[in-house]
Amino acid sequence: MTSSGRPCVLVFAGLDPSGGAGLIADAQSVAAQGAHALTVCTALTVQDNDRVYGVQPVDADMLLRQAQVLADKCVISAVKIGITGSAANARAMAAFIQQLRARQPELPVVLDPVLASGHGDLLSRDDAVQSLAPLLPLTTVLTPNGPEALALSGATQADAQAQAQAQALQARGCRHVLVTGGHGDGDDVVNRWYGPDASAGPVNTWRWLRLAGEFHGSGCTLAAAIAAQLALGLPTAVALENAQRYVYHALRDAYAIADGQRIPLR
């Protein structure tokens, strides 16, 4: 097993036929950072640039076969996880990452905890929150939006403080939590990064001008870009900064393929 000219990011995600999210979005985002995506399909979906109409998880054994063949041949410098498709797939991915970590203890793992589409369409056969449980303790950077952070942390709406949610998620094993503010209000999107000790408050807060319209695959784009930046060997602070700037430009220049959500220009 030898290293290639570009660092490789092992991507676990679903196939979105519209090309706006999932594996295609991840591969484009990783390539744009100067890394290479090794894409493992977790689920086939029926969707367009707006709605999800069906999800068929890939069998967990097939998922593992895809990943193992790649790991046997390629040096993996980071892992990015999108939708799992099923609880069985999440357990299989967790076991596989533990196997990788046995020889690469510092291997970065970026988890985009997708619970549903932007319109609330489900993307997993099983309860998405429960399915992610085995992956959280292995996560280097978690990238939930506001509703995802709320659901995953178990907080009530009355206790909806990003810091409290980050603390709860770190108690479940996540090292870094980047709570994104795309679902909020106001002129700016506010993203807050909580380091290993969330009780100390955010390590950094970024404000990005809120762009008009809706976008398909913005969360995939961000998580994949962070994973690629980490695969390049950059410090977490630099990786988060560079990835967010990349996503902002991709959304600013987004294009339409049909009515509805636009596609980030990755």
Residue with tokens 């797939």: 89
DSSP conformation class of 122: B
200 domain-assigned:
yes
- Predicted pLDDT of residue 90: 96
Residue 197 counted as domain residue: yes
* CATH number of domain containing 247: 3.40.1190.20
DSSP character string of 167-214: HHHHHTT-SEEEEB-TTS-SSEEEEEEE-S-GGG--SEEEEEEPPSS-
Per-residue pLDDT of 210-220, as tens digits, reads 999 999 999 99
Residue 204 near residue 177, CB atoms below 8 Å: no
Predicted local confidence at residue 119, as pLDDT: 54
* Residue pLDDT tens, the chain, 266 long: 545 589 999 999 999 999 999 999 999 999 999 999 999 999 999 999 999 999 999 999 999 999 999 999 999 999 999 999 999 999 999 999 999 999 999 999 999 998 865 555 555 555 778 889 999 999 999 999 988 898 898 765 544 588 888 999 999 999 999 999 887 777 899 999 999 888 888 999 999 999 999 999 999 999 999 999 999 999 999 999 999 999 999 999 999 999 999 999 99
User: For 233, which DSSP code?
Assistant: T
29 in Cβ contact with 1 (< 8 Å): no
Domain encompassing residue 31: 8-252
First to last CA, the chain: 30
Tell me, yes or no, whether 260 lies in a domain: no
Q: What's the Rg (C-alpha) of the chain?
A: 17
Confirm whether 258 is domain-assigned. no
At residue 154, the pLDDT reads 77
Would 175 be classed as within a structural domain? yes
Give residue-wise pLDDT tens across range 37-64: 999 999 999 999 999 999 999 999 999 9
Residue ranges of alpha helices (H) inside the chain are: 22-32, 60-73, 87-103, 128-131, 146-153, 162-171, 218-231, 236-252
Sheet of 109-111, strand order: 52-57, 36-47, 8-15, 76-81, 109-111, 141-142, 176-179, 188-194, 204-209
Domain annotation covers residue 259: no
Specify if 1 maps to a domain: no
176 belongs to a structural domain: yes
Cα separation, 78 vs 126, whole angstroms: 26
Quote the CA–CA distance of 224 and 243 in Å, as a whole number.
Answer: 8
Neighbouring C-beta atoms of residue 187, cutoff 10 Å: 7
The count of domains in the chain is 1
User: CA torsion 176→182→184→188, rounded to 10°?
Assistant: 100
pTM of the entire predicted model: 0.94
